[in-house]
Amino acid sequence: MHLAHQFLDKLPGALGEAVADVARAELGDSGRPHRAAEARRILPLRVSAAAHYCRQLSEEVSSWVCLMVEVLNFLYLGGKKIIGGEILTDPQRTALECLIRSVEDFLETEVRVPAMGSLRSDLGRIRFDYTGEIVAVMEELNAESVIACWPKVGEAGMQPAEKFVSEEVKEWLTKPRSTLLPRCYWPSSPPRSRVRASDEEWEKLVRAAVERNMMREVNEEDILRDQQGRMVLNGAGAVPKFKQIDGREVRLQRFISNLVPSNSYQDHMAGDDRHLPYLGQLAMLEVEPESELLVDSEDLTSCFNLFTLPPQWAGMMTFAKQVPSTVFGGPPDQMSWVGMNVVPMGWINSVSLMQTVVRQLVFVESDIPLTSEISKIKPFPDDASASLVYLDSYDEIRRIDTAYRGLLEGEESERHSRFTSTCKRFGLSLNTGKRLVGAVRGSLQGGVLDGQKGVFHSAPEKQASLVGYGLMLLSQEQVSEFELRHFAGKALFNMAFRRPALSIFESIFYDIEALSKLDGPGVMKDATKDEIFMVIALTPLLRMNLRAAVDPQVTITDASPSGAGGGVSDAFKREVDTEDHDGARCFYCEKELWEDKYPCPSECRAMLCSLDCMWRHRGMNCRRRGYPVPKFGERFSGPRHPLSEAVGQVGLIEVQPPYDLSLGHNFFSDEGRARLEELEHDPDLFCEHWAPCCKLFSKARGRPIRLDDGEVIYGPQAVRDERHPMGFPWLNREMKQRLRHSNTMANRSMSRLREAEQEERIATLEHPYGSWLWQWHQATELDSGLLGYAVRRDAQGRLQFDTEEEAEYPMGWCKAYAAGLRKAVEAKGRHLETVYEGRKSWVMQELQESTQRLREETTARLMAGDVVRLEKQMVPGSEQAHLKEMLRRLTIRGSEVKLLFRDSEHGEMPYPAYRWLFRKAFSFKWQDPEIHINEGELNAFLAMAERRASDPSKHATRYLAILDSQVIRGALGKGRSPSRPINRGLRRAAALLLISDCYPLLAWTISRWNWADAPSRSFE
């Protein structure tokens, strides 16, 4: 790193100048006491103060930390020359500790920055392929060198690939021709590619490949031909491969089939490649205190060579060079075509197929739960053990209790032993050299996961070579496009571990572009040198801190034309559309409430004094007025309707106005019947209770009754018996009229009961125990079990009480009935539906008014449903669980919370930010009134990031950061922006986030739901 310091002094650009200026200024600064506002400042950080702070540490660590401070100051200030206070603030001290740790970790590894000479010669070997990917130069094939790298005889072509694929893949795998593009997309003539081998070497190679089941003979008529009947033939060559044999590095060759010709006729086919995990996803891992991670890893040896393709494929993978037919036991004077028999690496569908096959081996054959998979298209697994399948490897990341490490470290996990036995069963050999068993440190996706420290970064060799290449470029007068591009590629890979660092790159892309137009090397811009230098300096910080806790405090920011505002919150609001009502007085009439209280059935938390006030409240001042609450209706209730009262007091169920003659509803008038029908047709009606007149049903009629004093009286005239349950035919006119009425009422009740049963509503009927009604065939049907359900409900208590028409239900029974009814409503989930349906229409309206994209009703309705589903989990007390869930829903870059809606076509669902109870953190007025809105949004975010970085307790955290600009959310999530002014802001963000070790989880919401909108406008 001393080397790096020398470079810094020589940097001709803004960085070098700024560093020199700051150093001079620091020397000349007498260290005046600072204003109170400076007491919590994080940046700029005085370099000499940092050096002083590190004085006890090794020179190497200390100088690197100072270098980082210089670079972070530069990124933060954008070249402005402002020096930090002489006395370190608390947040600065916390930040320095973090910088020191990262440098110490970085220097701890054995890997050292390679020597310049070896870097140069490596670079010489590499070239780009046609897609811009780096490949080594193709060499002539040498059979001996290639075969040494191939699996042994009996270890390749072990299993047919089609045995391990989904139906979807089998569909095209077994019909190779179905993967061909429509002819109109075919090239005008087959691309040419040759086999780089002499006849002799090629024959040797093919013999070995055939022996290994890796190639097969192809009949000429089976070879893929273009529209003019010309054969489509492929090439082959080798790239160098270095292998340790007996402690000596031997230069061997890797066989490469060049399938560009036949690939250009094929389509990319659907397979499990859509699940391929991305390294950014590990940002969703959280290592809690007292816990650690263990890594288990298995690699299939020479994985692509293990699986054979259906034989028809060889015709689509035929090589341009023939071999003597003797290779296949044919006559010596003939030549044969040869094609691939196993999955070739360069084939357009090999990734799609292999990811399918290995996923099958892991999740189906080894029975490892699919829910544990880290997949690009699934939320991060909420499993103590996460599975990562990446082509030929299966890795497992186990979360363990620190206390158990001693026991578990080095022990094979149960899932891994299942996987290894699956491989054994199918004769698939595993690469023991790469095996990891319960390891504290493991390689994943080109990175290293340290399960104890809880950090994930690029592999040390890659970090070292990044630093080495960077220094090499800085030491050269001129660089080539290739060299610069190569460095950028390495840097971008490393920066994927710490997104904000990507904003460092600006000028380098312009230089690459400019150099590509030159024939030879050229001079880099000063700004590009600065950028290379900054990347080198910050390399130790290009890592994810998986121990960064999820901060319970979420932030929201917004910008308006006049200013910016920000809010913070650590608690959800009380439930949506509810009142903050203590229930001391009636919410409607404000009368003091005593014993009888009627909670609003929509659960808006309003408490009412009576059914009357409840109805008025529901119709007028209930926040949940539109919510469809399940209703209860009482028919023939009596004048005081105690059952309706009891149901009204139990909550969740809205009581319809009771129906009774004494309340002015005459069942036998047109008007009365219309009223009843109106009640019955209420779409929210969920339960009914019927008590039809029972006077003419009593079996006691006509029987003598002995009173308490011994007197015997005769009751009223009998009107029915066993044989005439509908009434005697011989009764007088007036009695017949009464009977008809009585029967009509009873009939209506009975048929409503039956309907309720069919519609899965609840209905009950009350009649005396000794009523002839129970003899009616409708009732016996109920009794016989056909409608037994309804009868059982009926018998909440036993319906044995006074038959007097005027007699009221005892209150105790009403309460029991009401409680039972409430339970039934809860069991059906109807009360939840209520909230759901009611909210949905509000959310839908909000969405439709917010963006053009959501005007369309079906989309808005579906999305509103999803928003409400999420919102329902956002209840006070569940904040932490919700934030963890959001962490699991980060995008693959690991920086954005994207609530993907259905499919990507419908885009993203806005985050229901309004569920948080925010308080103001800041608001300020723009100094520049012409500020562009995007810059404004970014500045508001920066103000919040700075506020957090100034608080040491917020260091090393992840936090949900909500904003309403998709542009700025996207730029922050990516880490860089092609717009210069935005990228300047992103560099400032990078400085703040890197120095405070903070990880914003960026969520987007619509402006209507952005709480910070109001504070941002407070200067209008």
Residues in 532-571 that interact with Zn ion by CB under 5 A: none
Find the part of the chain contacting Zn ion (CB under 5 A) among 298-306, 620-628, 661-669, 750-758. 620-628
Q: C-alpha angle 196/202/206, rounded to 5°?
A: 130
Find the part of the chain contacting Zn ion (CB under 5 A) among 82-90, 378-386, 579-587, 762-770. 579-587
Q: Which is nearer to Zn ion, 386 or 604 (CB)?
A: 604
Measured CA to CA in angstroms, residue 26 lies from 95, 155, 188, 295, 582 at distances of 20, 68, 69, 47, 61
Q: Which is nearer to Zn ion, 236 or 576 (CB)?
A: 576
Q: Shortest distance, CB of residue 590 to Zn ion, whole angstroms? A: 7
Which is nearest to 193 in space by CA: 149, 153, 237?
237
Q: Which is nearer to Zn ion, 583 or 672 (CB)?
A: 583
Q: Shortest distance, CB of residue 622 to Zn ion, whole angstroms? A: 3
The residue behind tokens 């996460």 is 386
Q: Shortest distance, CB of residue 640 to Zn ion, whole angstroms? A: 18
Q: Which is nearer to Zn ion, 621 or 1018 (CB)?
A: 621
- Determine if 622 is a binding residue for Zn ion (CB under 5 A): yes
Q: Which is nearer to Zn ion, 70 or 654 (CB)?
A: 654
Measured CA to CA in angstroms, residue 825 lies from 624, 650, 819, 822, 900 at distances of 18, 11, 10, 5, 33
Under 8 Å CB-to-CB from 289, ≥6 apart: which residues?
547
Measured CA to CA in angstroms, residue 39 lies from 234, 293, 310, 951, 993 at distances of 69, 38, 72, 11, 19
Q: How many residues bind Zn ion (CB under 5 A)?
A: 10
User: How many Cβ atoms from other residues are within 10 Å of residue 363's Cβ?
Assistant: 19
Using CB under 5 A, which of 386, 430, 576, 600 touches Zn ion?
600
Q: Which is nearer to Zn ion, 313 or 587 (CB)?
A: 587
Q: Which is nearer to Zn ion, 216 or 631 (CB)?
A: 631
Q: Which is nearer to Zn ion, 609 or 779 (CB)?
A: 609
Strand 436-439: give its sheet, edge to edge: 385-390, 393-401, 291-299, 436-439
- Determine if 586 is a binding residue for Zn ion (CB under 5 A): yes
Q: Shortest distance, CB of residue 615 to Zn ion, whole angstroms? A: 10
User: How many Cβ atoms from other residues are within 10 Å of residue 970's Cβ?
Assistant: 15
- Determine if 606 is a binding residue for Zn ion (CB under 5 A): yes
Q: Shortest distance, CB of residue 588 to Zn ion, whole angstroms? A: 5
Q: Which is nearer to Zn ion, 520 or 619 (CB)?
A: 619
Find the part of the chain contacting Zn ion (CB under 5 A) among 14-22, 603-611, 855-863, 946-954. 603-611
Using CB under 5 A, which of 588, 598, 686, 690 touches Zn ion?
588
Q: Which is nearer to Zn ion, 224 or 613 (CB)?
A: 613
* Residue 577 DSSP SS3: coil
Q: Shortest distance, CB of residue 620 to Zn ion, whole angstroms? A: 10
Q: Which residues of 194-214 are buried (b: 16+ CB within 10 A; e: fewer)?
A: ebbbeeebbbbbbbbbbebbb
Q: Are 635 and 691 in contact (CB under 8 A)?
A: yes
Using CB under 5 A, which of 99, 209, 502, 613 touches Zn ion?
613
Give the separation between CA 839 and CA 832, rounded to whole angstroms: 11
Q: Shortest distance, CB of residue 840 to Zn ion, whole angstroms? A: 18
DSSP 961-996: EEES-HHHHHHHHHS--SSHHHHHHHHHHHHHHHHH
Q: Which is nearer to Zn ion, 542 or 600 (CB)?
A: 600
- Determine if 141 is a binding residue for Zn ion (CB under 5 A): no
Find the part of the chain contacting Zn ion (CB under 5 A) among 396-404, 515-523, 598-606, 953-961. 598-606
Q: Which is nearer to Zn ion, 602 or 957 (CB)?
A: 602
Measured CA to CA in angstroms, residue 699 lies from 458, 695, 713, 734, 858 at distances of 90, 10, 15, 20, 59
Give residue 752's region: left, alpha or beta (phi > 0; psi -120 to 50).
alpha
Residue 635 tokens, joined: 């028919």
Residue 546 tokens, joined: 């998986």
Q: Which is nearer to Zn ion, 449 or 611 (CB)?
A: 611
Q: Shortest distance, CB of residue 600 to Zn ion, whole angstroms? A: 3
Q: Shortest distance, CB of residue 591 to Zn ion, whole angstroms? A: 5
Q: C-alpha angle 64/5/103, rounded to 5°?
A: 15
Using CB under 5 A, which of 472, 604, 773, 993 touches Zn ion?
604
- Determine if 611 is a binding residue for Zn ion (CB under 5 A): no
Q: Shortest distance, CB of residue 606 to Zn ion, whole angstroms? A: 4
Q: Shortest distance, CB of residue 694 to Zn ion, whole angstroms? A: 34
Q: Are 831 and 652 in contact (CB under 8 A)?
A: yes
Give the separation between CA 950 and CA 278, rounded to whole angstroms: 33
Q: Shortest distance, CB of residue 664 to Zn ion, whole angstroms? A: 22
Using CB under 5 A, which of 589, 795, 807, 933 touches Zn ion?
589
Give the separation between CA 462 and CA 468, rounded to whole angstroms: 10
Using CB under 5 A, which of 484, 609, 843, 897 touches Zn ion?
609
Under 8 Å CB-to-CB from 937, ≥6 apart: which residues?
557, 558, 559, 963, 964, 965, 967, 968
Contact residues toward Zn ion (CB under 5 A) are: 586, 588-589, 600, 602, 604, 606, 609, 613, 622
